[in-house]
């Protein structure tokens, strides 16, 4: 299971609502809204790690 970087929910990599590739890494999302937020400003969500 992957973690949605926006809302921190777990996402099944086999059937995510959406995915994005950023700097060679694939990210999985529970919903299109999370993907859209991530795509606008990926560093905002990745900096929280």
Q: What percent of the chain has pLDDT over 90?
A: 94
Residue 28 has pLDDT above 90, yes or no: yes
Q: String of b and e for 10-36 (b: at least 16 CB within 10 Å)?
A: ebeeeebebebeeeeeebbbbbeebbe
Instruction: Reduce the DSSP state of residue 20 to 3 states and report it.
Output: strand
User: Can you tell me the mean pLDDT for 20-39?
Assistant: 98
This prediction has a pTM of: 0.90
Ordered by start, the domain boundaries in the chain are: 2-46
In angstroms, rounded to a whole number, what is the distance separating the alpha carbons of residues 7 and 35? Answer: 10
Q: What is the mean pLDDT of residues 11-24?
A: 97
Distance CA 42, CA 48 (A): 11
């Amino acid at each position: 299971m992957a973690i949605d970087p926006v809302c921190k929910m777990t996402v099944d990599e086999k059937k995510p609502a959406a995915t994005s590739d950023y700097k060679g890494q694939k990210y999985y999302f529970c919903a299109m809204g999370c993907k859209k937020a991530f795509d606008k400003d990926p560093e905002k969500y990745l900096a929280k790690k």
